[in-house]
Homo-oligomer: A and B are copies of this chain.
Amino acid sequence: MSHLLDDTDLAILNHLQDNGRAQRNTIAELVNLSVPSVSERMKKLEERGLIEGYNAILNSKKFHFDITAFIFVQVDGSENYRDFVDKAIVEPEVLECHSITGDGSHFLKVRTKNTGSFESLLSRIQAWEGVSKTRSNLVLSSFKETRKLPVEHAVELIKS
């Protein structure tokens, strides 16, 4: 089977997870390869879809988004999932929308500017068709909020 990852790929992936705009010569130095070789590896990782993309991380506090909360939403079984999602998707304050185990349960991660905007978002959600119950938890503090995948644990992809 071809297309396995070696330690060099893992090092590149790990570096890019923390440093998405890292330059190829920096990475090349890190992994002891020439710049074109790093370019080629990066291109392959992108083409294979292992790297989905890159993004800038903004500091939500600096934008005065002070409230992060999780909301469980119980949805009436007869209600269409897609409709729920369609409504969630247009709310820019909804950062994530998951369907989870438990009867008709959906789960939202939201970020709002203050308690007022949180309350109004919540009541908008409660007014959606089929929503029978919600339960919210506000985040007091976050000790780890990384999106970094521990790629070195994906052993079946890794060669040697």
Contact = CB atoms under 8 A, between A and B. Distances in A.
Interface string A107-133: 100010100000000000000000000
Nearest to A20: B54
Nearest to A154: B63
A88 B20 contact: no
Interface in A35-61: 48-60
Interface residues on A, range: 35 or more
This protein's copies in its complex: 2
B99 A137 contact: no
A159 interface: no
A97 B70 CA distance: 13
A17 interface: yes
A13 to B, nearest CB: 7
A36 B101 CA distance: 51
A160 interface: no
B157 A63 contact: yes
Interface of A: 13, 16-21, 48-60, 62-65, 68, 70, 85, 88-89, 92-102, 105, 107, 111, 113, 137-151, 153-154, 156-157
18 contacts: A17-B58, A19-B53, A20-B21, A21-B21, A51-B56, A53-B56, A55-B148, A63-B149, A63-B154, A63-B157, A64-B157, A93-B153, A96-B145, A97-B144, A98-B142, A100-B140, A105-B137, A107-B139
